[in-house]
């Protein structure tokens, strides 16, 4: 496997991890109304941080 392939797999895995957590929070779309799978990793990270703050304030 090449480095690029490994990096791509790491990105895919991280995106899936973030999406699964957001789905647990019943968040199915981004704040700009796009499907989560349409977002880049950096966009997902940003959305996740916003949702994380909202959910940690609830506890």
CA dihedral 11, 18, 39, 53 (to 10 degrees): -130
Q: What is the pTM of this model?
A: 0.86
User: pLDDT tens per residue, the chain (59 residues)?
Assistant: 799 999 999 999 999 999 999 999 999 999 999 999 999 999 999 999 999 888 877 65
pLDDT of residue 58: 64
HEC string of the chain equals: CCHHHHHHHHHHHHHHHHHHHHHHCCCCECCCCCEHHHCCHHHHHHHHHHHHHHHHHHC
Max CA distance (Å), the chain: 43
């Amino acid at each position: 496997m090449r480095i690029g392939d490994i990096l791509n797999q790491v990105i895919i895995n991280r995106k899936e991890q973030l999406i699964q957590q957001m789905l647990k929070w019943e968040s199915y779309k981004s704040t700009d109304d796009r499907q989560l799978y349409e977002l880049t990793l950096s966009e997902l990270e940003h959305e996740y941080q916003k949702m994380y703050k909202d959910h940690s304030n609830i506890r």
